Structure 1
C-alpha cells in the first residue's frame, strides 16, 4: 500500500487530464494561426508567439509533476501560507513590478515575465476552502461571512490598484462557492442590483440616479405610511434611510471612481458598450473586428490557417484575449461549439468529482476551480462577441501567455491531486 501511495499518478482522473490536453493543444493551434504572417513558417521557431507558447506548454509538464508530488494534506495544511505568499507577491509589484500597457501587473525576469494575479486565484481558492472546512465554521454567522469576504476581496483589491479591473473582476466567482456552501441568495441578488446600478450610474450620471432614487424612496415612504401608519414610522423608517444612504454612497463612489480612477480608455469601453458613443475605429475597433471575424467563419469555418481576416491581422493582439475570434473564423460554429462543450464538460466533471469528496476542503476547492473557469469562459467569450466590455480576461488554456497557462494548470491539477487522494486517509 505504501508503494502504491508513492505513485504520483495513482487515482488521477484521466478524463480531466484528457480535456486539459485537448484544450491546451487546440489553444496552441489557434495561437499558431493567429501568430504566423505567411505560409513559410517553422513549427519549432521559438522566436514566434506560438513557439514561445510551446515552450510554456512543455514546461507545464514538470510543473504538473511538481504539483502531483505533494499529497492532498500538503495543500490543506499550507493553504494559508500559500495565500499569504500570493498577497506578498501582489504587494511586491508596487515596488518591483514592471508597467505594461498602463498596469503594474508583471515581474520582469529578462526574457520572461510573471503575472502573480494568475496564481493568486488558485491560492485564494485554497484559503477559502481552508477557512470554510473548519468544523467550527458556520457561514450563517455574520463574522464568518466577513472573514470569507475579506479573504476573497483582499487580493481583488490589490489587483484593482495595479490597475487590472479584469483580473480583479474574477474574484466575484467565489460568491458562487459561498452560495453553494449556504450563503444566502440575498447577497447574489444585492450584487446583481448593484451591478445594474453601476451601469445606470454610468449611463445617466450619479446626480440623476441619486435624485431619481430619492423621488422613488419618497413615494415609497408615503405609500408605506399610508398602509402602515404609526407602525411604519416607529420601526421601518430608519431601515429605508439606511439603505438609501448606502446606495447613495455607492452611486457617488461609482461616479468618483469612473471619472477620477478609471483611465480614459476604460471609460470609452463602457460608453461604447452602453451605446453612449459609436466607435468602430478606436476603442470599439477590437470588438467590432472580432465580431466580423467570427461571423465570417460561418457554420464550418474556413479551415486551419485559411482565415484571411486572422492572417490579415484585423484583430489586434488576437493571440491573447481575442483568441476565440480565430477559433470562430477558422473552425466556424462547429469548432466554437465543440470548444464550449469541452469547457462545459470540464466544469461539470469538476463539480461532479467535488461532490464525491469525503471532506469539505476538497469539495469547496473544487467549487472554486469550477467557478473561476466558468467566470473566465463566460466573460472572455462574451467580450469577444461584443456582449460584454473589453476587460482583459484570458480564455483558459487558449490565450497566449505563460503565466495564464501555468496559473490555470496549477488551479486544475491541485484539484486533480486532491481528488486522487480523496479515498485515502493520509
Structure 2
C-alpha cells in the first residue's frame, strides 16, 4: 500500500462528517435568521449573511486542504512562532483595530472583519502543547504550573485591553486540559469554591446573610474538628477571607461598565428589565419555548422573522434552531456536538505523543466551553458575554479559527504512527 493511501485511511472521517453536518445546519439557520419573506432573497445572495457565510465556508475548505497537505511536523515546529505572532496582533489590536460596541477587537479588510483573539486560541493551544511535551514537564511542580499559566494569561491580559471579557473567558477552558494532564485537584476545589461564593455574593442582595452563614459554618467546623489553636485560627481566617472576598467582589462589580453590571443583574433577576437589558434573553427564551416539540417549520419562525432577538445570526443562533425545529431539532444538534466531543476525547486518548494529546484536549476544552456557555446564554443560565456557537454562528473569524483548531488535530491524529516513531 502506498504511503499516501495509508495516510488517507488514517484520517478520522467520522469527525469530518460531524463537522460538515454542523457547518451546513448552521448555514441554513443563518439564512433563516436573516430571511425576509417580502424580499425573497436567495440563500446564495452574497449581499446577506448567508451568502457571506458561504464565502467563509468555501475559504474554510481551502484552509482544510492546506492543513491536510502540510507536513504534520510544521505545527509543532512553528507553534511558538505562531503564538508570538498572535500575541503581537493582540497587542496592536486596541490601537489599530476597528471599534464596535465599545471594543477594538477586529481588523477590517474590505467588507470583512477578522478577530485576532479568535485565532490566538489555536496558537495558544499549540504553545501549551509544545511547552508540555517535554519529558521533564510536571504539573505537580509549581514552576511548571506557572509556566503553563503564563502561556494562558498573556493573551487573556492583551484581550482585556480591547476590552473583550467574553473572549478572554474562553481561555479559562484550558484548565480542563490541565486537569487531564495532572494539575493538582485542590486548585480546582478552591476555584469551584470561589465560583460558588461569587454566585452567592452576586445573587444575594444582602451580604449579611453570607456573613451569618459563614460564621455558622466556621463554628460547625471548629466543633467537629480537633480543638487545637492552629485549627481554630485556620477556620476563623478562612471565614474572614470568604467574608472579605464577598464584599470586595461587590466593589469590583460596581466598577464594571454599566452594560456588564446589567447583564449580571439580569442573570439573577430575569424580570428586572424585560424591555431593556433583559430583552435579548427574554426574547430568546420566548423563541425557543414557542418552538415546542417539532418547531414551527423552516423559515416560519415569527420571533425570527420580525427580528425580536438581536444578534440572532451570531450569538443567539441557537434560538432560531429552537423556534423553527423545536425540541427535537435542538436535541439533534446537541447530540451532534456531544458526539463530536466524545469522538475527540477518544482521539486524544489514543495519542502516544504528548504534544498531540495535549493539543487534542485543548481543542476539546475550547469547543466544550463555547458549546456550553453559548447555549446556557440563550436560555438565561449565563450572562450574555458574546460567545459564538462553534461551526454554527455567523462569522468568518469564528468559523476559520474553529476549523483550523479542529483540523490541525485531525492532521496530527492521522500521523500518530509517525509521531510514535519519532518518540522512539
TM above 0.5, yes or no, is: yes
Determine if contact 2:218/2:235 at 8 Å carries over to the other structure: no
Query: Partners in 2 of 1:214 and 1:419 — Cα distance?
Result: 49
Determine if contact 2:222/2:232 at 8 Å carries over to the other structure: no
Query: Partners in 1 of 2:157 and 2:205 — Cα distance?
Result: 24
1:197 is matched with which residue? 197
The structural deviation recorded for 1:388 is 1.4
Query: CA distance change for structure 1 residues 243 and 163 in 2, over 3 Å: closer, same or farther?
Result: farther
Q: In the alignment, is residue 140 of structure 1 matched against residue 176 of structure 2?
A: no
Out of 391, 396, 406, the position equivalent to 2:390 is 396
The structural deviation recorded for 1:44 is 2.4
Query: Partners in 1 of 2:335 and 2:147 — Cα distance?
Result: 36
2:108 alignment partner, SS class = strand
Determine if contact 1:8/1:69 at 8 Å carries over to the other structure: no
1:41 is matched with which residue? 41
Once structures 1 and 2 are overlaid, which stretch shifts more, 74-83 or 36-45?
36-45
Residues 81-136 of structure 1: CA deviation (Å, up to 9, x unaligned)? 21122211111112211211111211122322111111111111111211221101
Determine if contact 2:124/2:152 at 8 Å carries over to the other structure: yes
2:404 is matched with which residue? 410
Residues 139-186 of structure 1: CA deviation (Å, up to 9, x unaligned)? 111111111122122222222332212111112211111111122222
Determine if contact 2:104/2:163 at 8 Å carries over to the other structure: yes
1:307 is matched with which residue? 301
1:158 alignment partner, SS class = helix
Residues 27-63 of structure 1: CA deviation (Å, up to 9, x unaligned)? 0000000012125112321111111111111111111
2:164 is matched with which residue? 164
1:266 is matched with which residue? 260
Once structures 1 and 2 are overlaid, which stretch shifts more, 164-173 or 198-207?
198-207
Determine if contact 2:218/2:236 at 8 Å carries over to the other structure: no
**Which runs of no fewer than 5 residues in structure 1 stay unpaired?**
none
Query: CA distance change for structure 1 residues 221 and 185 in 2, over 3 Å: closer, same or farther?
Result: closer
1:373 alignment partner, SS class = helix
Query: Partners in 1 of 2:212 and 2:81 — Cα distance?
Result: 48
Query: Partners in 2 of 1:253 and 1:161 — Cα distance?
Result: 22
Query: Partners in 1 of 2:290 and 2:205 — Cα distance?
Result: 38
Once structures 1 and 2 are overlaid, which stretch shifts more, 333-342 or 83-92?
83-92
1:183 alignment partner, SS class = coil
Residues 246-282 of structure 1: CA deviation (Å, up to 9, x unaligned)? 656644553333111x211111111111128622111
Query: CA distance change for structure 1 residues 203 and 296 in 2, over 3 Å: closer, same or farther?
Result: closer
1:329 is matched with which residue? 323
Give TM-score scaled by structure 1 length. 0.91
Counterpart mapping for 1:5-404 below 5 A: 5=4, 9=8, 11-38=10-37, 40-204=40-204, 208=208, 211-212=211-212, 215=215, 219=219, 223=223, 228-229=226-227, 232-233=228-229, 235-236=230-231, 239-240=234-235, 243=238, 247=242, 250-260=245-255, 262-275=256-269, 278-404=272-398
Residues 294-317 of structure 1: CA deviation (Å, up to 9, x unaligned)? 111111111111112211111111
Determine if contact 1:271/1:277 at 8 Å carries over to the other structure: no
1:423 alignment partner, SS class = helix
Query: Partners in 2 of 1:255 and 1:82 — Cα distance?
Result: 39
Determine if contact 1:104/1:162 at 8 Å carries over to the other structure: yes
Please identify runs of 4+ aligned residues in structure 1 that moved more than 6 A. none
Query: Partners in 2 of 1:43 and 1:275 — Cα distance?
Result: 38
Determine if contact 2:222/2:235 at 8 Å carries over to the other structure: no
The structural deviation recorded for 1:201 is 2.7
**Which runs of no fewer than 5 residues in structure 2 stay unpaired?**
none
Determine if contact 2:348/2:360 at 8 Å carries over to the other structure: yes
Determine if contact 2:315/2:374 at 8 Å carries over to the other structure: yes
Q: Report the RMSD for the aligned CA atoms in angstroms.
A: 2.5
Query: Partners in 2 of 1:332 and 1:305 — Cα distance?
Result: 13
The structural deviation recorded for 1:75 is 1.3
Equivalences, count: 419
Query: CA distance change for structure 1 residues 351 and 221 in 2, over 3 Å: closer, same or farther?
Result: closer
Query: Partners in 2 of 1:208 and 1:78 — Cα distance?
Result: 54
Query: Partners in 1 of 2:302 and 2:67 — Cα distance?
Result: 41
The structural deviation recorded for 1:242 is 6.2
Query: CA distance change for structure 1 residues 76 and 275 in 2, over 3 Å: closer, same or farther?
Result: same
Give TM-score scaled by structure 2 length. 0.91
Query: Partners in 2 of 1:259 and 1:65 — Cα distance?
Result: 49
